[in-house]
Amino acid sequence: MPNATTPVNINYVHGMSDDAAQSWMPPLAWLAALMAGLPALLYFPTHLALKKCFGKPAA
């Protein structure tokens, strides 16, 4: 990293690059894809895997 104080894109709302915003789809469509895609492809499968590993809490 050339400069530790340079701001970087950490939430990908503007695209996957730190250099320029994504331009292959409209910005609101990109945001909607992130809002629907991250839970569906990352968070929900993780939830199911952890639920299977740890089971239900004891009563």
In tens digits, what is the pLDDT along the chain, a chain of 59 residues?
567 887 777 777 788 887 788 888 998 998 899 899 989 999 999 999 999 999 887 77
pTM (global) more than 0.85 = no
Within 8 A by CB and 6+ apart from 15, the residues are: 9, 21, 22, 23, 30
Query: What was the pLDDT predicted at 45?
Result: 95
* Alpha carbons 44 and 36: distance in angstroms, whole number: 11
Q: What are phi and psi of 40, to 5 degrees?
A: -70, -35
